[in-house]
Amino acid sequence: MSVYDYSVTTITSEEKALSDYKGDILLIVNTASGCGLTPQYTGLQHIYDTYKNSGVTVLGFPSNQFKNQEPGTNEEIKSFCELNYKVTFPLFAKVDVKGENAHPLFDYLVNNVPAPHHTGDIEWNFVKFLVNQEGQVVKQYPARMEPEAIEQDIKKLVNGEPLE
């Protein structure tokens, strides 16, 4: 199994096979517009802008599971992200990321992070998962870790170097 075995719904309600990203490095993040961590959109957009030509794609998945910090519709979320953070990386329809209604992609991500890079369940908005070019989850980062702190690992994957 890999992330390529899943399909998701885009924020504009289109079905998207994650196999469309085969060969890319993916940074998959659960997001929210009304969270104290929402300014991380700036860092996520920076990573996307900096590395998209090197085969890195950021994928944002809004979720309203943490203190109702993403109550809007998909249209409202898309507009908020574009207007306030100039987000151009792919956004997807609002999903549950944990619990019995969790999207299967997030169950897969949480359960397939190799030790010692697994930080546990998704504890809050902006938990990040780094996926290599083969579709395998290689690292999980806690919500409070700023995207800029992940950049070194992304550079290593882009350069074919091992992660520590």
E strands in the chain: 7-9, 15-17, 25-31, 56-62, 128-131, 137-141
Rounded Cα–Cα distance for residues 129 and 69 (Å): 20
| Token reading at 71 | 């109550």
Cis amide prior to 114 (ω within 30 degrees):
no
Q: Which residues belong to the active site?
A: 35
| Token reading at 102 | 């969790």
